[in-house]
Amino acid sequence: MEQTDTPPPDGAPLLRARNLVKRYQGRTVVDHISFTVQRGECFGLLGPNGAGKTTTLRMIVGLTPADGGELTLFGLPMHPEQRAARQRMGVVSQEDNLDTDLGVAENLRIYGRYFGLPGALIEERLERLLRFAQLSDRAGQAVGTLSGGMRRRLVLARSLVADPELVVLDEPTTGLDPQARHLIWQRLRTLRDDGVTLLLTTHYMDEAARLCDRLLVMDHGAILDLGTPRELIARHVEPEVVEITGQGDPPDPATLGNPDGRQERMGDTLYCYTRDAAPLMERLSRRPDLAVLMRPANLEDVFLKLTGRELRD
Amino acid sequence: MPRFLPRPTLGFIQIVRRHFLVWRKTSAASLVGNLGEPLLYLTGMGYGLGRFVGDIGSLPYLVFVAAGILSASSMNTATFEALYGGFTRMTRQNTYHAMLATPLGVADVVLGEVVWAAVKSLFAGLAIFLVGTLLGAFPGPQAWLALPVVFLAGLVFGGIGMVVTAISPGYDFFLYYFTLVSTPMFLFCGVFYPVASLPEGVQTLVAALPLTHVVALIRPLGSGTPPEDVMVHLGALLLFALTAYPIAVLLIKRRIIV
């Protein structure tokens, strides 16, 4: 598949993965993937559960040794003993690994020490980080008293304690309510505007569309496509979508007539992809028994087309 | 990909500091335990049992058993910290994963745990030393020299404990270690009676256990007699410590860097 991955003229990429492989018990979880992340961009790994996103991320942060291929970060070969690269990155892991034996501010303070930062510098950054995480009034509280959104913001603030060039986030908003997600997104955009490179995994299309400059869609350990959200939509799906939901079974596509388009069924809904939805909508106006929604194609359509519609667990 | 034995950095000190900070939050309870327990043991065993036992060699039983209790405490304290503390941080709290997302490596994390286990042994040892000194159980002028040995013992048992933690599927697994290793050492390595009173074959076996060498150093130091074969005992303890640590590093690495 054609992949647009041309580096911009300025300098070497911040991250380069070439033919990266990871196997667990003979099963290939990451299957020869290659991509680069440019300085200052927000790069997303998009894929269903079990696609190999988290394993890829673990290799990037050095928590998992690769079984093959090359991985360079900041021009350094990345592996679990590569301390110099980890000094320059922050990690927001999927599992919540805040130090529950410590308070909110202590979590930041102690984490800063792990990076070898002098105490005075940590104290100087502490207030700003707490404000960034909207936790200033909770500095002295125990981690256990925080809500899910607060905990995630604290993990994000913690990843920033050593002023990283790259922040790696594994499903940063999974499990959060809409308000909490929007706050995290807004914070991530602030970081990107400040020139911090972001690398995140997600299976939320709205998250990918809102945040990511470029997306890598992967499944079964392999890359399906790579590009900007707009490129991916243009490449894989027709620009307009009509969603039709009938009472009981969805209607038979043949009776609707969508000559230039393509239909897909998921659950009780029929998705009609087309270049021009007007004729179809015209015909559907005579079918008051059907619930009809017309919308522009989005990443979710790309995602479902590329990764299929069967259920993943 | 390099697969050499990872080497620690001074970053391990930050891990010890982290553990110390957490310990300080509950230090009141710890101090009650650290001071209260030796007081109970020394009075109960030293005075109670001592009345029937009388002197062992030239030592009153209180003096004899105080050195044993100091030795056993250095083992138990470090063992508990490395097993329950270490395992909780490695699994339930994911503390190691958080640490490993920083420049710290597995070698630092394990060294931090082992040194912290030894520091806790030293805290417990200091409490015993204090209580024992007030009771007259550590009469020798050089008795305080037992404390560096307590620290070394903490490194030994902390290291062995981290090996056990690395291979434990769960908390229940620790019972094997306690029943098969820790408790036998507690009962046969000279804590309550001289190793010399055991049958000869058993003595040889017991000489291969680290606690025997801890007791062999701490008892003379604590009671004011010159210790014998210092280099042998120190050498044995160093060997245990320097063997257990890299094994623990490799096993923990194999468990979490996957």
Summarised one tens digit per residue, pLDDT across range A109-129 is 999 999 999 999 999 999 999
Question: Is there a contact between B93 and A91 if contact means CB atoms under 8 Å apart?
Answer: no
For the stretch A27-46, pLDDT in tens is 999 999 999 999 999 999 99
What local confidence, expressed as pLDDT, does residue B2 receive?
A: 42
Task: Check if the beta carbon of residue B61 is closer than 8 Å to that of residue B50.
Answer: yes
H-helix or E-strand spanning residue A270:
strand A269-274
pLDDT of residue A258: 67
Tell me what the pLDDT averaged over chain B comes to.
95
Model ipTM value: 0.92
State the DSSP string of A40-76: T-EEEEE--TTSSHHHHHHHHHTSS--SEEEEEETTE
Percent of chain A surpassing pLDDT 70 = 90
Residue A167 has pLDDT above 90, yes or no: yes
Q: Is the pLDDT of residue A69 over 60?
A: yes
With cut-offs at 50, 70 and 90, classify the pLDDT of residue A96.
confident
More confident position, A258 or B176:
B176
Q: Does A101 touch chain B (CB under 8 A)?
A: yes
Measured between beta carbons, the chain B residues lying within 8 angstroms of A76 are none
Cβ count within 10 A of residue B208: 9
* Mean pLDDT in residue range A188-198: 97
The per-residue pLDDT for A7 is 47
Residue of B nearest to A66 (CA): B1
Closest CA to A40 of A8, A62, A72: A8
Tell me, what's the pLDDT at A263? 85
Encode pLDDT of B203-229 as tens digits: 999 999 999 999 999 999 999 888 999
Which residue is listed with tokens 């010399």? Answer: B196
Provide the pLDDT for residue A2: 42
- A240-245 and A291-296 as β-strands: parallel, antiparallel, unpaired? antiparallel
Distance from the B87 Cα atom to the nearest Cα atom in chain A, whole angstroms: 14
Q: How far apart are alpha carbons A280 and A293 in whole angstroms?
A: 12
Dihedral angle sign, alpha carbons of residues A219, A225, A227, A229: negative
Q: A222-227 and A214-219 as β-strands: parallel, antiparallel, unpaired? A: antiparallel
- The answer to which of A67-76, A259-268, B106-115 has the lowest mean pLDDT is A259-268
Mean pLDDT for A6-27 is 84
User: Hey, are the CB atoms on B9 and A83 less than 8 Å from each other?
Assistant: yes
Q: A86, B103: Cβ pair inside 8 Å?
A: yes
Kindly report which listed range (A257-261, B51-55, B203-207) carries the lowest average pLDDT score. A257-261
**Chain A residues touching residue B12 (CB < 8 angstroms):** none
Average pLDDT taken over every residue of chain A: 91
Contact status of B103 with chain A (Cβ, < 8 Å): yes
Interface contact A83, partner B, CB < 8 A: yes
Find residues 111-170 of chain B whose CB sits inside 8 Å of chain A: none
Q: What is the pLDDT of residue A253?
A: 65
The torsion of the CA quartet B61, B209, B89, A121, rounded to 10 degrees, works out to: 80
pLDDT for the residue A264: 84
- Where does the pLDDT of residue A8 fall: very low under 50, low under 70, confident under 90, or very high at 90 and above? very low
Strand A262-266, strand A222-227: pairing: unpaired
CA-to-CA dists, residue A266 to A167, A270, A275, A291, A309, angstroms: 36, 6, 21, 15, 7
Percentage of chain B surpassing pLDDT 70? 98
What per-residue confidence (pLDDT) applies to B84?
Answer: 98
Q: Residue A1's pLDDT is what?
A: 42
Could you give the percent of chain A with pLDDT greater than 90? Answer: 74
pLDDT given at position B234: 98
Q: Is A16 an interface residue toward B (CB < 8 Å)?
A: no
pLDDT for the residue numbered A286: 85
Work out the minimum CA distance from A311 to partner chain B, whole angstroms: 28
Does position B90 have pLDDT exceeding 90, yes or no?
yes
CA gyration radius, chain B = 19
Q: Which amino acid is at A48?
A: P
Beta strands A89-92 and A42-46 are unpaired
Name the band, by pLDDT with cuts 50, 70 and 90, for residue B5: confident
Q: What pLDDT does residue A10 have?
A: 55
Query: Chains A, B: CB contacts under 8 A, how many?
Result: 83
Q: Is residue B244 over pLDDT 70?
A: yes
Q: Which residue of B has its CA nearest to A77?
A: B1
Contact A97 B2 (CB under 8 A): no
- Residue from A60, A64, A89, A97 to probe the interface with B (highest B Cβ count within 10 Å): A97
Q: Once rounded to an integer, what is the mean pLDDT over residues B38-58?
A: 91
Give the per-residue pLDDT at A251: 66
Q: Which of A138-152, A285-299, B142-156 has the lowest mean pLDDT?
A: A285-299
Q: Please state the pTM of the whole predicted model.
A: 0.92
Is residue B179 over pLDDT 50?
Answer: yes
Quick one: pLDDT at residue A313? 61
List CB contacts of A260: < 8 A, sequence separation 6 or more. A274, A275, A276
Say if A86 is an interface residue toward chain B (CB within 8 Å). yes
- Residue numbers of A between 152 and 191 with CB closer than 8 Å to B: 159, 162
Q: Give the pLDDT band (50/70/90) at residue B1.
A: very low
pLDDT band at B37, cuts 50/70/90? Answer: confident
Look at residue A284 in the predicted model and tell me its pLDDT. Answer: 86
Checking if the pLDDT of A3 tops 50, the result is no
**pLDDT for the residue B128:** 95
Cα dihedral sign, A41-A47-A52-A55: positive
Q: Is the pLDDT of residue A270 over 90?
A: no
Q: Looking at residue B3, what is its pLDDT?
A: 52
Provide the shortest C-alpha distance from residue B91 to chain A (in Å). 10
Residue A221 has pLDDT above 50, yes or no: yes
| pLDDT above 90 as % of chain B | 87
Q: For residue A26, what are its two tokens?
A: 């003979």
Q: Tell whether the model's pLDDT for residue B16 goes beyond 70.
A: yes
Nearest CB to A101 within list B15, B22, B104: B22
Q: CA nearest B105 in A: which residue?
A: A81
Q: Spell out which residues of chain B touch residue A96, defining contact as CB-CB under 8 Å.
A: 94
Q: What is the mean pLDDT of residues B41-46?
A: 90
Q: Is the pLDDT of residue B93 over 60?
A: yes
